[in-house]
């Protein structure tokens, strides 16, 4: 649990209030890429290599794959890469716990102060990671930068469901997001740790960041067809969990009085 003095140094300062040095130091510290995966044995190798190539210019970085109870050869495929990609770390859940728990396990284990997440199916292009990092570093008031997928390589029914879902969610939460389903995000680890955790939290990171007073930036990113395998989600499945979660997040936002604005004297 953070003390109030610690919270004050990672929340955005109010106009006219001098920000403590810790916040600005985050712009130059290490990067941790967090990738939750389940049954993606054919995808993890190519994806890990693409991430490593995208971060070649980042001297201090690590890549964490979190296996979420896979029943195929995902873990073996990842372990086989560790000599080739020395910055690769492999974590494993003993059973399937969901994408949000995978993200959280990765963040908790991460050594970097800036976290990058992306989906494990290869549809997010790792070459877009530097764009998100540049945007985050350029504006210390931002807690997170989220990708917005252009020219999506999904089925027409999934694109339509996503469009309708985003509109409904934006009407309920007023978070200004047009693509919360994009897994490619960059955020400050300390900011993430302030957020209330629950299953399916990853779908609401934008609204939760803004609830804590952080700015959120948006960057257009590419989108690709799945490298291999099949999606773990269905339109109906997303709908059934989203409505209940939306009501819960709306309640959380309504019960929050905003950042305390505490200063250390």
Q: Which of 14-18, 125-129, 164-168, 187-191 has the lowest mean pLDDT?
A: 14-18
Q: pLDDT at residue 6 above 50?
A: no
| 251 domain-assigned | no
- In the three-class reduction of DSSP (H, G, I as helix; E, B as strand; rest coil), residue 90 is classed as strand
Summarised one tens digit per residue, pLDDT across range 219-237 is 999 988 877 766 655 545 5
Q: What is the pLDDT of residue 158?
A: 62
Q: State the total domains in the chain.
A: 1
- What is the pTM assigned to this prediction? 0.78
CA distances from 40 to 119, 230, 254 (A): 11, 9, 38
Q: pLDDT at residue 249 above 90?
A: no
| 182 domain-assigned | yes
Whole-number mean pLDDT of the chain?
A: 82
| 189 domain-assigned | yes
- The domain of 92 spans 4-10+20-156+178-225
CA–CA gap between residue 12 and residue 50 (Å, rounded): 33
Residue 92: CATH number of its domain:
3.90.550.10
Beta strands 142-149 and 185-188: pairing type?
antiparallel
Work out the pLDDT band at 24, boundaries 50, 70, 90.
very low
Summarised one tens digit per residue, pLDDT across range 112-150 is 999 999 999 999 999 999 999 999 999 999 999 999 988
| 140 domain-assigned | yes
Phi and psi (nearest 5°) for 139? -135, 95
| 68 domain-assigned | yes
| 82 domain-assigned | yes
| 101 domain-assigned | yes
Q: pLDDT at residue 153 above 60?
A: no
């Amino acid at each position: 649990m953070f003390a109030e003095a610690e919270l004050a140094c990672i929340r955005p300062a109010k106009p006219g209030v001098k920000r403590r040095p810790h916040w600005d130091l985050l712009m130059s510290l290490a990067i941790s890429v967090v990738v939750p995966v389940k049954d993606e044995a054919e995808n993890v190798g190519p994806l890990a290599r693409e991430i490593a190539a995208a971060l070649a210019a980042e001297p201090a970085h690590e890549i964490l794959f979190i296996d979420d109870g896979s029943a195929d050869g995902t873990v073996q495929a990842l372990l086989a890469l560790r000599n080739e990609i020395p910055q690769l770390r492999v974590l494993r859940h003993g059973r399937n716990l969901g994408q949000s728990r995978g993200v959280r396990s990765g963040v908790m284990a991460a050594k970097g102060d800036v976290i990058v997440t992306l989906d494990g199916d290869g549809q997010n292009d790792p070459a877009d990671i530097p764009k998100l990092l540049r945007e985050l570093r350029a504006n210390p008031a931002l807690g997170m930068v989220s990708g917005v997928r252009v020219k999506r390589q999904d089925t027409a029914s999934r694109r339509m469901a996503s469009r309708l879902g985003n509109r409904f969610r934006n009407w309920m939460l007023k978070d200004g997001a047009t693509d919360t389903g994009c897994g490619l995000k960059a955020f400050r680890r300390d900011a993430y740790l302030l957020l209330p955790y629950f299953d399916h939290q990853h779908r609401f990171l934008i609204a939760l960041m803004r609830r804590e007073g952080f700015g959120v930036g948006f960057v257009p990113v590419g989108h690709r067809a799945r490298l291999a395998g099949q999606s773990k989600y269905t339109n109906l499945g997303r709908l059934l969990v989203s409505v209940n979660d939306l009501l819960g997040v709306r309640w959380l936002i309504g019960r929050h009085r905003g950042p305390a604005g505490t200063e250390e004297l």
